[in-house]
Structure 1
């Protein structure tokens, strides 16, 4: 296994990279600025510069990889095209190149409520709408996939509440530490129970902990 990670320097993506390195998986981190990324990511990681909006740079960077995790997402700002360009077109480009080179498993970080058009977050340049369009494009691609829809993302990695995993369009609220999202994404690469599923994830108090095999197996 050799992993390609898009969005590798983001708050979630950097945790994904660290989790992969901890599991002994070689990682190609797809970054805009290699010098800035070097300060954020483990030394074992191969850094390749490019953009998800540029297929040629994706193709060059992805060569030799066997699995892919996309944690890319539009940065908050005033560009109304950001969610379309990054969350949809960017992931669409990743899917297209992944098909070309025969990626074995594509894991995409999306968002809770991605399929709900009438959601307040869509007031911000249709961000959930474009994430959902990317989900559908991946599902229709023929690639083996896992789509991870986290609740509200938290930077507190010390939150040890129990992970809850549910099928698509089941959960509507809740939060989750970014570290736990990273763990879900990496575990998905190793578990056949995770293949070709959309999973929604949050953490809760007073729930019964389950191993990842059981969590993924419990999602139809």
Structure 2
């Protein structure tokens, strides 16, 4: 597949790009906002595409079969930026994907996007934006998978997870490396098509967990 990674310059995005390139199954395009990230993306094995979610970036989806949306405004930004990137940026990506006939759309969301009432007040704006984006994708008619990880860590990946439609109570963490692995595997696994699920670290190999959805 020709895969566009949106949010490729982020901590999780870089791991997605690296794993896609190392799989030798995909041609990888990395959408970045900063020109200085170009060399890093090319070292990881991707073609860098300079574009901004808050502008017209439809050209980034030209000649692409699949999209992995992993962009996020970050914890240090205000509510307006969260809406602009996590919600409206994602919605625009869905619209462009429909226009371009994208075959596969993988969304990196967040645990708690559909159980906002259980979340700390500080996370509510972020989760509301994620929920709105997820619902927009679900209703789009695209061939989607929505992955909702628990708290992200920078620990080395273990390749082992637990997966559920919803964990209750909300909680648990997972290395970014394992999240990237789940997103990349989901691209080509029929079992994940049209599914929304949460993931945390666990004791089941990723591929095996995904076949049990």
TM superposition shift of 1:73: 0.7
Shift of the 69–122 alpha-carbon distance from structure 1 to 2, 3 Å rule, reads: farther
Q: Which runs of 5+ in 1 are unaligned?
A: none
Question: Deviation string for 1:143-174 (max 9, x for gaps)?
Answer: 000101011100011x5273111114556110
TM superposition shift of 1:185: 0.2
After TM superposition, the score normalised by the length of structure 1 is 0.89
CA distance in structure 2 between the aligned counterparts of 1:195 and 1:202, rounded to whole angstroms: 20
Matched, 1:186 2:184: yes
Matched, 1:218 2:209: no
Does the 8 Å CA contact 2:158/2:178 hold for their aligned counterparts? no
- Cα RMSD, aligned residues only: 1.9
CA distance in structure 1 between the aligned counterparts of 2:176 and 2:147, rounded to whole angstroms: 12
Q: Which runs of 5+ in 2 are unaligned?
A: none
Moved over 6 A (4+): none
Aligned residues: 212
CA distance in structure 2 between the aligned counterparts of 1:68 and 1:171, rounded to whole angstroms: 31
Shift of the 162–78 alpha-carbon distance from structure 1 to 2, 3 Å rule, reads: closer
Higher share in helix: 2
What SS class does the counterpart of residue 60 from structure 1 fall into?
Answer: helix
TM superposition shift of 1:196: 0.6
Shift of the 28–171 alpha-carbon distance from structure 1 to 2, 3 Å rule, reads: farther
After TM superposition, the score normalised by the length of structure 2 is 0.92
Shift of the 161–67 alpha-carbon distance from structure 1 to 2, 3 Å rule, reads: closer
